[in-house]
C-alpha cells in the first residue's frame, strides 16, 4: 500500500525541526529556504500546519509540465519529479494548490519521502508528522482538521 506523510496539526508546535531536517538531509545545509516541507504558522491561534506534497492521485502540478518531468508512479504512490527532464519553467508552482513545491536554485523540489525514511519524521518530537497510509487517518480526524483550517483561513 503506498504511503505518504500524515500530518497532525494538533500535535505541531511550530518548531520547524522538520524544515531543518529536510534541508539538512536533502540539501546538505540547514536552510529554511531550501526545504520540501514548510510549516504554515498562525501564531495568534497557536495553529501550525506542516505543509508538504500530498502525493495526489491526479497531480495538478503535472498538468502544465511541458516535459513530463512530474508524474504519478502507480506502484510507489509517489508523484515523481525527474530533475533531468525539468527545464525550470516553474509552471508546476502555479498549479499546486497546496504550495507544496519549493524552488531551490531556480528549479522545483518536492517531497519524495526520502526513499521511505523521511528525515522530517525522525526529528518531529511531538509526532505531528508520520509515515503511513492516508486511509489510516480517520474521517472524524479529517473533518476536525478541515474545520480548523477553514476557521483560521476563512472565518469572518
Q: What residues line the site for another protein (CB under 8 A)?
A: 32-33, 38, 40-44, 61, 63-64, 66-68, 87-91, 93-103, 106, 152-156
CA distance linking residue 14 with residue 77, whole number of Å: 28
Q: Collapsing DSSP states into helix, strand and coil, what is residue 131? A: strand
SS3 62: helix
Q: Minimum distance between the CB of residue 136 and another protein, rounded to whole angstroms? A: 26
- Shorter beta-carbon distance to another protein: residue 105 or 135: 105
Q: Which residues of 106-127 are buried (b: 16+ CB within 10 A; e: fewer)?
A: eebbbbbbbeeebbbbebbeee
CB of 50 to another protein, least distance (A): 13
Q: If DSSP states are collapsed to H, E and C, what string results for 95-122?
A: HCCCCCCEEECCEEECCCHHHHCCHHHH
8 A C-beta contact, residue 6 and residue 136: yes
CB of 133 to another protein, least distance (A): 25
Q: How far is the CB of 46 from another protein (least distance, A)?
A: 12
Amino acid at each position: 500500500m503506498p504511503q505518504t506523510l500524515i500530518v497532525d496539526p494538533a500535535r505541531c508546535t511550530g518548531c520547524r525541526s522538520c524544515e531543518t531536517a529536510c534541508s539538512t538531509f536533502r540539501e546538505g545545509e540547514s536552510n529554511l529556504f531550501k526545504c520540501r516541507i514548510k510549516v504554515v504558522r498562525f501564531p495568534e491561534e497557536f495553529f501550525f500546519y506542516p505543509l508538504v506534497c500530498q502525493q495526489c492521485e491526479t497531480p495538478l502540478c503535472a498538468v502544465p509540465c511541458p516535459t513530463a518531468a512530474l508524474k504519478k508512479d502507480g506502484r510507489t504512490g509517489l508523484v515523481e519529479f525527474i530533475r533531468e527532464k525539468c527545464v525550470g519553467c516553474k509552471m508546476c508552482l502555479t498549479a499546486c494548490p497546496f504550495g507544496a513545491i519549493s524552488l531551490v536554485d531556480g528549479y522545483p523540489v518536492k517531497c519524495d519521502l526520502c526513499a521511505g525514511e523521511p528525515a522530517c519524521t525522525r526529528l518531529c518530537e511531538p509526532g505531528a508528522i508520520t509515515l503511513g497510509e492516508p486511509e489510516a487517518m480517520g474521517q472524524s480526524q479529517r473533518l476536525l482538521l478541515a474545520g480548523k483550517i477553514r476557521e483560521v483561513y476563512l472565518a469572518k
